[in-house]
A and B are shown apart, each in its own frame.
Chain A
Amino acid sequence: MRKLSICTALFSLALCGILNAEESMSMNAADKAMYAEMLENNPAAMDVAEGEELFNALIGQEAYAKMLGIKVKDLPVTVAGFPRLVKAAGKVVTLSQSLQMAAADQGKAIPKLESKEMVKMSAYVKSLANDKKINIDVKANKQMQEMVALGQKIFEERRGGRGLSCNSCHSADIVGSRLRMQALPDLGSSETASAATWPAYRMTQSAMVTLDKRMQQCMKNALLAELPLGSKEMVGLEVYVAHKAKGNPMQIPGLKR
């Protein structure tokens, strides 16, 4: 019986391969336009609106700017440069971690990185930077230099049962190849611009997901141990991926398959 199910699996895999080879699986321009239009009505807009209420109740723009050591009017430009060195932390932190710090400053309960509240708040705060270009500066200081190097190392490190790295599917020489019907995206291209378009509404999950969470899901699918949210390695990876998308305008929330 087990043999049978293995056979079935092999057979269906072969069938899928044949179908993919025979049919052109690219979406045409009209299809792409229809999906692009869906961005105008992104269900995640409701989450971002809720994130604004949560953020204002927990922290507020003034207290957040004060914690970052900047003026409120400079929030958008500063937000467009995360992950960044925050003096109060003495290290490079993600936007979500900076919100945890600000909440602690206010004497409030610190929201967990993976909590729904944090996802919504971070999306709202990131959306303050919409239309501003990603301006992450990986040479700004020693800490950023270290983190981008660590991020690149993690990105290229082959690990897990299949010896895959992020680079296995997202390196310059392989992007555009297809995994089933989907073109593998160049994380830094203006079309994908990962760091500028996450948090995004993921249609497959019918929910808004953050960039680091998405990277964890990618690791899980590729049989790699998931790096914990907020770990030095995960922050480094986010620095590296954000740097790839540098110069692209922020468009939060994004909309992904």
Chain B
Amino acid sequence: MERRSFLKGFGTVTACAALIPTITHAADEAKKVTGPNEMSTESAIAAITGGKPVTASAKVSLSAPEIAENGAVVPVKVSVESPMSANDHVKAIHVLATKNNNTRCANVYLTPANGEASFGTRVKLGSTQDVLAIAEMSDGTFLSAKQNVKVTIGGCG
């Protein structure tokens, strides 16, 4: 009897496990809420660059934690190597959270009076994803840097 009920229970669990992928998938679809400013990374980049190429560059440094303690408050710092002179400066720093519903976090338009091309803030990350920084240079080129941030489940509420 004991063995029987055990087997029965086991059967149910296995069946459930097999069903789970479709169930959770359906739930995800139903749950998906789109915000008022929904925009994909591709569209956001196109809007920033007007279709010009973006080059990954060591001149752009992006720091964010590898593991975020809390997805709601993730520190992000961007700095770009530049003399910040009238002729040679960083015109803008754009920060994107690539998997958020609206990937745009901030578009920061700098001037030579900043002295240094730096920007720091804290962003919300809905899930583990890349944070992308794009620097718009005064010569019309676009440089970038990205970092993956793992968003984990915290301890006690």
**Residues of A in contact with B (beta carbons under 8 Å apart):** 3-4, 7-8, 10-11, 16, 25-28, 30-31, 34-35, 37-38, 169, 178-182, 184, 203-204, 206, 217-218, 221-222, 257
Query: B20 near A: Cβ within 8 Å?
Result: yes
Query: B13 near A: Cβ within 8 Å?
Result: yes
21 contacts between A and B (CB under 8 A): A3-B12, A8-B24, A11-B17, A26-B67, A27-B65, A30-B63, A31-B65, A34-B65, A35-B75, A38-B73, A38-B75, A38-B122, A179-B155, A179-B156, A180-B152, A181-B67, A203-B72, A217-B156, A218-B156, A221-B157, A257-B69
6 more A-B contacts (CB under 8 A) besides A28-B66, A206-B72?
A4-B19, A31-B67, A169-B156, A182-B154, A217-B156, A257-B70
By size class, the interface of chain B is 20 to 34
Query: B23 near A: Cβ within 8 Å?
Result: yes
Q: Which of B16, B17, B65, B157 contacts A35 (CB 8 A)?
A: B65
Can you name the residue of chain A whose Cβ is closest to the Cβ of B156? A221
If A4-B23, A8-B24, A37-B75 touch, whether A182 touches B155 (CB-CB below 8 Å) is: yes
Chain A residue numbers with a CB within 8 Å of B153 are 16, 180-181
* Alpha-carbon separation in the docked complex, A34 to B12 (Å): 47
Chain B residue numbers with a CB within 8 Å of A206 are 72-73
> Are A31 and B66 neighbours in the complex by a CB distance under 8 Å?
yes
Enumerate the 6 nearest inter-chain pairs by beta-carbon distance, A residue then B residue, closest first: A182-B155, A7-B16, A31-B65, A179-B155, A203-B73, A181-B152
Chain A residue numbers with a CB within 8 Å of B73 are 38, 203, 206
* Alpha-carbon separation in the docked complex, A92 to B88 (Å): 65
Interface residues of B in 110-157 (CB under 8 A from A): 122, 152-157
* Alpha-carbon separation in the docked complex, A37 to B75 (Å): 9
Chain B nearest CB from A190 CB (Å) reads 19
**Residues of B in contact with A (beta carbons under 8 Å apart):** 12-13, 16-17, 19-20, 23-24, 63-67, 69-70, 72-73, 75, 77, 122, 152-157
If A4-B23, A8-B20 touch, whether A181 touches B154 (CB-CB below 8 Å) is: yes
> Are A11 and B20 neighbours in the complex by a CB distance under 8 Å?
yes
Chain B nearest CB from A172 CB (Å) reads 18
Chain A residue numbers with a CB within 8 Å of B17 are 7, 11
Chain A residue numbers with a CB within 8 Å of B155 are 178-182, 184, 257
* Alpha-carbon separation in the docked complex, A16 to B154 (Å): 12
* Alpha-carbon separation in the docked complex, A73 to B75 (Å): 38
Chain A residue numbers with a CB within 8 Å of B16 are 3-4, 7-8, 11
Chain B residue numbers with a CB within 8 Å of A257 are 69-70, 154-155
Can you name the residue of chain A whose Cβ is closest to the Cβ of B150? A23
* Alpha-carbon separation in the docked complex, A257 to B75 (Å): 12
> Are B152 and A8 neighbours in the complex by a CB distance under 8 Å?
no
Chain B residue numbers with a CB within 8 Å of A3 are 12, 16
Chain B nearest CB from A202 CB (Å) reads 9
Chain A residue numbers with a CB within 8 Å of B157 are 204, 217, 221
Chain A nearest CB from B75 CB (Å) reads 5
* Alpha-carbon separation in the docked complex, A4 to B23 (Å): 10
Chain B nearest CB from A82 CB (Å) reads 25
> Are A25 and B67 neighbours in the complex by a CB distance under 8 Å?
yes
* Alpha-carbon separation in the docked complex, A16 to B153 (Å): 9
Chain B nearest CB from A9 CB (Å) reads 10
* Alpha-carbon separation in the docked complex, A166 to B63 (Å): 36
If A34-B75, A203-B72, A206-B72 touch, whether A7 touches B12 (CB-CB below 8 Å) is: yes
Chain B residue numbers with a CB within 8 Å of A180 are 152-155
